[in-house]
Amino acid sequence: MATVPELDPPAVAALAQRLMANVTGAVKAPASAVRNTVVALLAEGHVLIEDYPGVGKTALARALARSIDAEYARIQCTVDLLPGDVVGTNVYNQREGRFEFRPGPVFANVVLVDEINRASPKTQSGLLECMQERHVTVDVHTHELARPFLVVATQNPIEHEGTYPLPEAQLDRFMVRISLGYPEADDEAEMLAQHAAGDRVLDLNPVTEVSEVLAAQEAAAAVHASPILRRYIVSLLDQTRSDKRTVLGASPRAGLMLLKAAKALAALEGRDHALPDDVQELAPAVLTHRLLLAPEAVGVSRADVVRDALERVPAR
């Protein structure tokens, strides 16, 4: 039998508001990008940031970790990064005369994986596997990862030399893709002024704690979704698959993630049931990065395909 979550949706909404306000105080980013990151946190998903250098990607991940008083780690990906550098390795303890596990950075709560497309395919797949499994197996021993566990991976959209672009199967593991873009002129000027007094992110105080985030995740998972809403999601997925402009539409996993994200958004807005509005609001961030366009689909973007699907599929 399902247990009753400790937090009700209005309490989740209050928590999310505090969290988003705290993060936004230090990082100038579009409200939707911050909100979608919090949605991913609540829905136990992971975030892919595709953006240019120096726009606040690291600041966002660090600000979130500080705000929830969680352990933060950063992994800089390079070709020579080994799977063991990420997940951890068994090292021999001379004194005890036995091997012991030394956990890698992936055991933190918020893990920033910078330039994921610079890691070798082997390291990428090791990392992406534990994103989904939430545990690590090294030499037959299995180690549980921390909870909450949020990976924020970055990918530079312009530099492709010496990179290993993530295959579709790997991209599919990210719940949402966000981009920060350049701040508004007023925000950027304010950031310059604030920065003179030191990095704002380092001054952030927590506005909640890890145990409350876990309770909020439970509350988000307990949000009600009607059979009609699930049908609606399936029809959207189907529309991306039958669209002639795609060779690969949204997977069943994409649908699961869209449903989870919609439930998290409902909780974030204080509701105990998810609505078609939640699905429509999140479909671009959840679905776009999973589609593969047909080579003959020139002048079309993946975002166009998602937008058209939303327009064509009736919500009831």
Ligand X SMILES: Nc1ncnc2c1ncn2[C@@H]1O[C@H](COP(=O)(O)OP(=O)(O)OP(=O)(O)O)[C@@H](O)[C@H]1O
Please report how close the Cβ of residue 55 comes to Mg ion at its closest, in angstroms.
9
Asked if 58 interacts with Mg ion (CB under 5 A), we say: yes
Please report how close the Cβ of residue 54 comes to ligand X at its closest, in angstroms.
4
SS3 110: strand
Please report how close the Cβ of residue 184 comes to Mg ion at its closest, in angstroms.
21
The helix (H) or strand (E) run that includes residue 141 is strand 141-144
Subset of residues 156 to 195 that bind ligand X, contact rule: CB under 6 A: 183, 191
Q: Yes or no: say if 282 and 258 are a contact pair by the CB < 8 Å rule.
A: yes
Q: How many residues line the site for ligand X (CB under 6 A)?
A: 15
Asked if 199 interacts with ligand X (CB under 6 A), we say: yes
Distance of CA 235 to CAs 26, 245, 253, Å?
A: 40, 17, 14
Asked if 53 interacts with ligand X (CB under 6 A), we say: yes
- Alpha-carbon gap, residue 246 to 293, rounded angstroms: 4
Subset of residues 108 to 147 that bind ligand X, contact rule: CB under 6 A: 114
Please report how close the Cβ of residue 114 comes to Mg ion at its closest, in angstroms.
5
Query: Toward Mg ion, which CB reaches closer, 58 or 125?
Result: 58
The helix (H) or strand (E) run that includes residue 91 is strand 88-93
The contacts of residue 267 (CB under 8 Å, 6+ apart) are 9, 12, 13, 16, 42, 216, 219, 220, 223
Query: Toward ligand X, which CB reaches closer, 49 or 175?
Result: 49
Alpha helices in 8-143 (DSSP H): 9-26, 31-42, 57-67, 83-87, 121-133
* 29: partner contacted, choices ligand X, Mg ion, none (Cβ within 5-8 A by kind): ligand X
Asked if 179 interacts with Mg ion (CB under 5 A), we say: no
For Mg ion, the nearest residue by Cβ is 58
Q: How far apart are the first and last CA of the chain?
A: 30
Residues lying near ligand X in the complex (CB under 6 A) are found at: 27-29, 53-59, 114, 183, 191, 199, 201
Residues lying near Mg ion in the complex (CB under 5 A) are found at: 57-58
